[in-house]
Amino acid sequence: MSGITITTDNFNSEVLQSPVPVLIDFWAVWCGPCKIISPVIDEIAGEFSGSLKVGKVNVDEEAALAEQHGITSIPTLVLYKDGELVNQKSGAAPKNDIINLFKNLI
Q: One of 6, 31, 45, 77 is an active-site residue; which one?
A: 31
Active site residue 31: yes
Dist CA 11 CA 40 (whole Å) = 23
Contact (Cβ atoms closer than 8 angstroms) between residue 82 and residue 102: no
Active site residue 22: no
Q: One of 6, 15, 34, 57 is an active-site residue; which one?
A: 34
SS (H, E, C) 32-76: HHHHHHHHHHHHHHHHCCCCCEEEEEECCCCHHHHHHCCCCCCCE
Q: Which residues are catalytic?
A: 31, 34
